[in-house]
Amino acid sequence: MTDFKQVFEKMRSALPLETGNYPYVCARVKAKKRLLLSSDVYMRYLRMGITGIARSIGEGQYAEEVLALGTKYSGVDLIEMATRNNLAKVFTQILEFSEGHLRTMISRYLDRWDVWNIKSILRGKFCDASNEEIWETVIPAGSFTTEFLHTLLEKETVDEIVEGLEGTIYWESLKQVEEEVKESGSLAPFEDALAHRYYSFLLEAVPPTTEPNLRFRHFLQREIDSINLKTLLRVRFEEAKLERDVFIAGGLEIPKADLTGMIDMPLDQLETKLKRTSYDLVLTPLLKDIEEKGLTDAVRALEKFILMWASKYSHIHPLSILPVMDYFARKEREVENIRIIARGKHEDLSTDVIKELLVI
């Protein structure tokens, strides 16, 4: 009986059939997408003060969060906490009204917030931040419950946090690099291990059994390409020497095996390498200016490219997981854009500098 069940499950996973309430979820997501801020609103925020921005978001989709937090926070802190809490609420809502394999894929995708939260708690403990300070960076939008995150937060040391993750998909990966963390005095090996495990686990949940699933898988693989390219450019820019495995396996166009050799590659050879990929027009015009201008333009260009790709295929496959992913990506970007504007104004950055940091 067990053998038959295993064979049946294997056959079913190979068939181009997806379970899930796609019409309902996509309709709900479409309605939420209409609430996203337009570029005109960002331009208006650039001309406003922090108090005005807080008042404006409190009159729209962030009203509930602004009202709930208004007695405890103000200014830029209120804006950051309200947008953070709203993102967690909205993503959790979408997960809760999804069903079948659609729910599985959405859940695996949202587990990136578990990774975010583990990193936030580890960093906070490593830097001796207070539990309240650490909690303000946590975004409970993944699989971990608020109660479990609070349990991790109550741990006294980094080692205890790692042990607290026993039973999760991340524990074994963290244990494998534990000695490396102790020897280096850095959390970077932990953070790299978390990213590697997250993407390998996520890709397992997205078999290319249908055209929309294949495109979703390509979206995730392009995301991996983007992360790896950012890492590559950062290592080149800082002229750093790699002492560990920093690149993530599973990219779409740039194999992990090629990336290490691209670090010390002369610029003209790197440009030739990129010409064989769809990232050529995105990055090649910016490479020569990185030494002088830094990485901001290149990072922003990659993020825009990923957003455009997600949007394109969400319109081609309107009753699939792609519109959901497109919304998630755009909602994350909205929260980040609002944070950049608010934090930029708090730090007295010029309007032009803040505008250059936005991805619209």
pLDDT digits (tens, 9 = 90+) for 150-198: 999 999 999 999 999 999 999 999 999 999 999 999 999 999 999 999 9
Query: What span, in angstroms and rounded, lies between the C-alpha atoms of 217 and 133?
Result: 36
**pLDDT tens column, 222-234:** 999 999 999 999 9
Rounded Cα distance between 42 and 37, Å, is 7
Distance between first and last Cα of the chain: 54
Tokens of 57: 């978001």
Stretch 232-253: mean pLDDT: 91
Residues 6+ apart with CB under 8 A from 233: 290, 295, 298, 299
- Measured between alpha carbons, how far is residue 197 from residues 20, 298, 304 in Å? 26, 26, 25
Contacts for 236-242 with beta carbons within 8 Å, 24 or more apart?
A: 236/263, 236/290, 237/290, 237/291, 237/294, 237/295
Q: What is the pLDDT of residue 243?
A: 79
Task: Domain 211-319: give its CATH code.
Answer: 1.20.1690
pLDDT in tens, 16-63: 457 899 999 999 999 999 999 999 999 999 999 999 999 999 999 999
Whether 19 and 102 have beta carbons less than 8 Å apart is answered as: yes
Residues of the chain with CATH 1.20.1690: 100-206, 211-319
User: Using one digit for the tens of pLDDT, what is the confidence trace for 98-155?
Assistant: 999 999 999 999 999 999 999 999 999 999 999 999 999 999 999 999 999 999 999 9
Q: Which helix (H) or strand (E) holds 113?
A: helix 112-126
Indicate the DSSP class of residue 279: T
pLDDT at 19: 86
State the pLDDT at residue 3.
59
Q: How far apart are CA 73 and CA 75, in angstroms?
A: 7
| CATH code reported for the domain at 22-28+39-97+331-359 | 1.10.132.50
Select 100-206's CATH number: 1.20.1690, 1.10.10, 3.40.50, 3.40.720: 1.20.1690
Summarize pLDDT for 316-335 with one digit per residue, the tens.
999 999 999 999 999 999 99
**Every domain range in the chain assigned CATH 1.10.132.50:** 22-28+39-97+331-359
Half-sphere exposure of 159 (CA within 13 A, CB side): 4
Question: Do 22 and 319 contact (CB within 8 A), yes or no?
Answer: yes
